[in-house]
Structure 1
């Protein structure tokens, strides 16, 4: 038997079908890069900074976040809330105790000008200052990262960019594949004045950072304005994200946990249970325990027969990690709600207690989430640089720097190969079926991510309209 002939070294001599597919993939890779590169640089820079959110806020807001070194005992949280309300009159919303010694407590207050976080020294009971809720430097970086400042359309653009980033990685891997080449695969040829240098630098960088980019794009999707919201509703609808029977079967209100505090993604649709007042509670609860609560313009502080400090004592006895946030009951069927989402996923916890009896109605931790919820929360935790400590942060920062290099090398490579006039779009396949075959494969991803799929359709139609051959004059 005659052995098969070796593949020709000259790409032009390869079977046309392979050349056509290569051109089709290259064309989509080009369009993806054209749309995504500015967004990727923005996301990499802001995301790399947000990895160090605690360090940044400690540096910029040191006088607010750090307490005195006094040896006095910590004052009851009701007194700290009263001090905050005295300095900033309004309605009490939530309280977050110090996570570690030497930290301040945070009191959330709703004022006519908006919500404030008031920082109170837990030992001296003095107010250290206040910030608008979400107004710290780190939270500003986070809102810049998601383009939250610029409205839903801009946030939709970020969602589309994340989907196209997935396309960039998959098509880039296909274009990198050696196909018999030995140079420019894992090494860089030439000098910085040559296009081949930037081509190889782009390909090799993409090879090593592609998995990280793919991971960040996928794990960032739960926050997206359209897909993330719909996926959250699907995953957590019908009380799924907050099963009523996790600890005991309790009646649920229509209120959502995410309406009142920052929550884990898998609990954004979680319903808050209801307290069950007896007739005696309903008539005497307010009057019998008003004295135990701090003086405040907000009547909700005096709701419930339990009392604020007694509720805090119950949460402490239940062993929730320090630094948890507590919200007071809202109305006669409201509950005291405590929640914490620390870096350690195993310490994530949400507890609701009856405002009259103090009995736990729901006590849920990370181990109680479903498999999908646990996987999503783990991915988000890694995305935020929290799961593996400093190592997680270092890996993410290196990945973000590599993504910037990937974008810069792509832009430089395109600039060097572009024609004097025009965009330098890669050539069309000779057989248009190759282009539409690749497009059809991409459409599968478009079904999973509808906003991304809509953008695929727009680009495909523009490509067909703008690049169609000119009709001969008659």
Structure 2
């Protein structure tokens, strides 16, 4: 029975790895880079992100936006990102026929440091590769599939690792790299050390998934555990979600409705006055300000500092400057705050360098797991075949282990569909093999 159970778990572990590992390699590489996005921007791209601090006061935001508009004359300004330190550049996002362009400006003299397409900016490329957004919504759904299979991979891996009287492969590695046993032990020990981290990264990546994440957001909002709906009470809102106008709203407020200014013939307060108001309300430095669009548009500001508890979002009536909605981190519901904490840890933003290095270690361990798995497979593969571990003869064990895997698929619906597809494909291949071996009986 134990041998049959081991074989059934091993087969599902193989299937989960076959599907997951190519994506986990991509996620680990891009995640490792994105963990240090600020450091990379301050070094490799210092020519556009770092400026010399001067005694003269910086130019007004309105003046900087005007300069950006002159630099990209066929586009309109959409957002202004204030410098988060005296030696940082200001960034204006312009929207035109060719898409969005980021204009980096020296806040002291207005010099245009660089212009780059928003989707071509280095860290945006890494971010979109990490989320698979480059490949469309269907590919983005694979994030949920991979996260679900990662859970199966880790749980089945723990069972296969579990000590059963062996002297090695638990916390030590036997043999030499020439032997498959060495790679098997390296894979097992690495998985034991990094398994909890893999589960954490999978769980905290799920809020961005196209189905599971959206459902969790919707359910938590209905239960009053996500968006603070009470703060929107009595405020006219548009059909535009906050996430469409701001990049820094945070997960909990991405689909919150953007408020509207009451339409009137008054004169808008202007960018400088809007900046003065949100700064006076205590908005952390480095926030992003979306400019009003149309007569009912609003000024919308969002801050996403490394300290998750300082996240904030404020919208202002463009005519009176009156705050329409002001959301602090403490106003978000319990589920929303918990997910924001998890996302902060996932991105290495919550506990300084220790957090970054710990997440980097998990990413590197994942790469090591992928390499050791590939070498193990290569050393044991039959010639000309994939080398899938065989099912045990005990069908009760097969049904029990498969039933457990299917149950996990219920928790992650897209993973569940992939599991059912794999079961059908596996059964079809097995039937085809029987037919080829015994054509007369078929």
Match status 1:311 vs 2:277? no
1:450/1:326 Cα in 2 relative to 1: closer, same or farther (>3 Å)?
same
Cα offset, 1:236, TM superposition: 4.0
2:37 paired residue number: 53
The aligned residue for residue 5 of structure 1 is none
Of residues 28, 49, 57, the one that matches 1:65 is: 49
State the distance in 2 between where 1:337 and 1:328 align.
Answer: 7
For residue 122 of structure 1, give the secondary structure of its aligned residue in structure 2.
Answer: coil
Task: Choose which of 64, 82, 85 in structure 1 pairs with 2:69.
Answer: 85
User: What is the distance in 2 between the residues matched to 1:140 and 1:329?
Assistant: 27
Task: Please state whether the residue corresponding to 1:118 is helix, strand or coil.
Answer: strand
- Would you say the 8 A contact 1:66–1:102 is kept in 2? yes
* Counterparts of 2:160 and 2:362, CA distance in 1: 21
Gaps of 5+ in 1: 1-16, 287-303
2:379 aligns with 416
Aligned-pair CA distance for 1:153? 2.9
Residue 245 (structure 2) aligns with:
260
What is the match of residue 196 of structure 1?
181
CA contact (8 A) 1:95 1:105 kept: yes
Matching of residues 378-417 of structure 1 within 5 Å? 378-417=341-380
- Which residue is 2:410 aligned to? 447
Q: Work out the CA distance in 2 between the residues paired with 1:449 and 1:342.
A: 31
Q: Take 2:297 and 2:137, find their aligned partners in 1: how far apart are those partners?
A: 32
Distance in 2 of aligned mates of 1:246 and 1:358: 17
Q: How does 1:224-243 map to 2 (within 5 A)?
A: 224-236=209-221, 241-243=226-228
Residue range with higher mean Cα deviation, 381-390 or 67-76 = 67-76
- Offset at 1:374? 0.8
Report the Cα distance in structure 1 between the residues aligned to 2:307 and 2:191, rounded to whole angstroms. Answer: 31
* Residues 124-147 of structure 1, C-alpha deviations (whole Å, 9 max, x = no match): 122222111142212211222222
Q: Which residue of the partner structure matches residue 123 of structure 1? A: 108
Corresponding residue for 2:288?
Answer: 325
Contact 2:225/2:335, CA 8 A, preserved across alignment: no
CA distance in 2: counterparts of 1:147 and 1:74, whole angstroms:
39
Do the aligned partners of residues 239 and 177 (structure 1) sit closer, same or farther apart at CA in structure 2, a change above 3 Å counting?
A: closer
1:226 offset after TM fit, Å? 3.3
Deviation at 1:451, TM superposition (A): 1.4
Alignment match, 1:434: 397
TM-score in terms of structure 1 length: 0.87
1:120/1:128 contact within 8 Å kept? yes
CA contact under 8 A between 2:84 and 2:286: conserved in structure 1? yes
| Distance in 2 (alpha carbons) for counterparts of 1:265 and 1:323 | 18
Q: Deviations over 1:237-292 (max 9, x none)?
A: 69974434238742322221011111211111111222235xxxx23x14xxxxxx
Unaligned runs of 5+ in 2: none
CA contact under 8 A between 2:94 and 2:101: conserved in structure 1? Answer: yes
What's the secondary structure of 1:470's corresponding residue? helix
1:68 deviates by 3.1
- Does structure 2 conserve the Cα–Cα contact (< 8 Å) formed by 1:241 and 1:270? no
Asked if the contact 1:26–1:171 (Cα under 8 Å) also holds between the matched residues in 2, the reply is yes
Could you tell me how far apart the structure 1 residues matched to 2:371 and 2:68 are?
A: 49
2:257 to 271, 278, 281: 271
Greater Cα radius of gyration, structure 1 or 2 = 1
Residue 313 of structure 1 and its aligned partner are, at CA, apart by 1.1
Question: Residue 136 of structure 1 aligns with which residue?
Answer: 121
Cα distance in 2 between the residues matched to 1:24 and 1:244 = 48
Shift of 1:59: 2.4
The residue aligned with 2:434 is 470
Output the CA distance in 2 between the equivalents of 1:99 and 1:156. 34
Over 3 Å counting, the alpha-carbon distance change for 1:440 and 1:246 in structure 2 is same
TM-score normalised by the chain length of structure 2: 0.93
- Is the 2:242–2:258 Cα contact (8 Å) retained in structure 1? yes
User: Could you give the per-residue CA deviations for residues 387-439 of structure 1, whole angstroms, max 9, x where no partner exists?
Assistant: 11111111111111111111111111111112224222212121112112111
- More off after superposition, 239-248 vs 345-354: 239-248
Query: How many angstroms does 1:170 deviate by?
Result: 0.4
Paired residues for 1:450-461 under 5 Å = 450-461=413-424
TM-aligned CA distance change 1:240 to 1:398, over 3 Å = closer
**What is the aligned counterpart of 1:367 among 301, 316, 330?**
330
The answer to which of 48-57 and 128-137 deviates more is 128-137
Number of matched pairs: 435
RMSD: 2.0
